[in-house]
A and B are shown apart, each in its own frame.
Chain A
Amino acid sequence: MAKVVVAVAAQADLDALILTHSLPASTADRVRTALQPLAIFPLLGPALIGRWQGFRFILGPWPWMLLVYVHDEAIDQVSVVTIQDSRSARAAASGAGSPRRWSPADLGAALDRYEHACIDAGMRPSAVASYVDYARRFLRWRTGDYRPRDATGPARPSALGPVTAADLANEARAYADDVAAAGRHEATIDTYLRHAMFFVRWLDGNFEPGGRLA
C-alpha cells in the first residue's frame, strides 16, 4: 500500500477553505475518506497536462473540491500538494486577459464599495462594521500601518505595488501567521483570516456579503 501524506501547504489550503466557506467540522474526515483509496490505487486520479504534468487529481467530498497530488513511485508515496475550489476559476476564466491588479488606493476605494454592498445586502449595522473593520485592518497591515499588539516577528515591509486577488489571499495567510505569532487564540486568528478572505473573495467576485456561504 502507498503511504498517503498531505503537504503543509495543502493542509493550509484546506484550513483556509474550511474557514472561508464555513465548511462543516467533519470536513477533514471527509477529505481523509476521499483520499484513502489512493493508498491502494495511487494512480486512481487522472494525470493533468500542460504545466501541470506530473500532477494528478481526484475530487474531494464535494465535486468542487480538487485534491491535487503527486505519486512518487520510488518510495510508493502519494503526496497531496494543494487543495483548490474549482469554482474560484469562474471569475478568472470569464475575465479578459490577465487578472485585475489592485493598488492600495484601489483597495481603499473598493473597501468603501464593500461597505455599501454589506449595507445593501441588509446586514445589521454591527455586522457591517465588523466586516469592514476586519477588512480595513488587513489592508492597513499589508501597508505597514497596523500590526497586531504583541507581534513578535520582524515588521512586514509595506506592500504598495498593485496585487491580484491571489496575491492578497497569500498575504492574508501571512497576516494570520502574524496574528498567531502575537499569541492570539485560535478563534481570534480564524476571525481575522475569515474576514480578510471575505473581502478578498468579494474583490474576486466569489463572495456576496450577507449571502449563503458556499
Chain B
Amino acid sequence: MPEQRSNRLNVLLDDEHAAKLYGLADRTYVNAGTLARSLLSTALDQADPDPASVTALLNAIPGAHERALQGLADVRAGRVVPLDEM
C-alpha cells in the first residue's frame, strides 16, 4: 500500500530568505504563505524537467556528447576546478 503523504509541509527559512519573502509579500499585497506556496510550486516545476526530453535535446546539440566525454576524461585525470574557484 502506498505511503500516505500529507500536502501540508512545515518549512523553516533562514533569515535572509524570510526577509526576502516578506519583502515580496508586502510589495505584492499577498499573504506570505500564499506567495511561498506559489514560489515553491514554480521552483519544483523548474527543478524536475523531463529527462527524456533533455536527453533528446542534448543528443541534438552538435558535439555535446563529445564534450561530456572530454569532461569525464578531465575528471578522471584530475583536471578539475573546485566550485569556489570557478
How far apart sit A176 and B19, CA to CA, in the bound complex (Å)?
45
Q: Distance (Å) between the CB of A212 and the closest chain B CB?
A: 22
Q: Are A9 and B67 in contact (CB under 8 A)?
A: yes
Q: Which of B65, B80, B86 contacts A52 (CB 8 A)?
A: B65
Among the listed stretches A86-94, A120-128, A183-191, which one makes contact with chain B, having 4 or more residues with CB under 8 Å of it?
A: A86-94
Q: Which of A10, A48, A167 contacts B58 (CB 8 A)?
A: A48
Is the CB of A208 closer than 8 A to any CB of chain B? Answer: no
Q: Are A81 and B75 in contact (CB under 8 A)?
A: yes
Number of B residues, CB within 8 Å of A: 36
Q: Are B62 and A84 in contact (CB under 8 A)?
A: no
How far apart sit A105 and B75, CA to CA, in the bound complex (Å)?
38
Known: A44-B47, A70-B72. A165 touches B55 (CB 8 A): no
Q: Distance (Å) between the CB of A45 and the closest chain B CB?
A: 9
User: Could you list which residues of chain B lie within 8 angstroms of chain A, going by C-beta atoms?
Assistant: 46-52, 54-75, 79-84, 86
Further pairs besides A9-B71, A46-B48, A82-B68: 17, Cβ < 8 Å: A3-B82, A6-B81, A7-B80, A9-B67, A57-B51, A68-B58, A70-B72, A79-B71, A79-B72, A80-B71, A81-B71, A88-B64, A90-B60, A99-B62, A164-B62, A166-B63, A169-B63
